[in-house]
Amino acid sequence: MLSSDDTRPIYKQLAEWLETEILSGQFQEGDKVYSQYQLADLYTINPATAAKGLTILLDEGILYKKRGLGMFVAEGARETILTKRRATTVRQSARSFVKEATYVGMTDEEMLALLKEMQKEASRDED
């Protein structure tokens, strides 16, 4: 759902919502997605804002356009979204870790040692 309390622009929230719909199976590869006008009506937003959200997914290869028919979920869209979200989440977590470790005065060596320790723990957890 889109939220006016969210600090991200509406078009980015919309793009993420559509990604989540694809991940959840609401839309499968080859399925037609909502048009910018349907999205504008659904969320009471400007059609240009809806178009901008769709364009993000088009540019990322998650959607493709069929002239005169609309936009559809691209082949491999689910995997593209998963890869993107993994990279985003991991980078955000790493950034938070480094920031906090720096605040508490950890050295680079201490940070690396902690990361290696966490990696070993994660490997043991998988076994």
CATH of the domain at 37: 1.10.10.10
**CB 40 within 8 Å of CB 47:** yes
| Amino acid identity at 117 | E
Residues 65, 50 within the same domain? yes
Residues 57, 83 within the same domain? no
Residues 30, 71 within the same domain? yes
Average pLDDT per 10 consecutive residues for the chain, totaling 127 residues: 81 95 96 96 95 97 96 98 89 92 95 94 80
Residue 63: the pLDDT is 98
Residue 61: the pLDDT is 97
The strand pairing partners of 71, in sequence order, are 65
Domain span including residue 94: 79-126
Residue 10: the pLDDT is 94
Residue 51: the pLDDT is 97
Q: Does some domain include residue 1?
A: no
Query: Angle of helix 47-59 relative to helix 36-43, nearest 10 degrees?
Result: 130
Residue 127: the pLDDT is 64
Residue 106: the pLDDT is 96
Q: Is the pTM of this model over 0.75?
A: no
Domain boundary among 37, 59, 75: 75
Residues 19, 47 within the same domain? yes
Residues 45, 100 within the same domain? no
Residues 17, 68 within the same domain? yes
Query: Angle of helix 108-126 relative to helix 77-103, nearest 10 degrees?
Result: 140
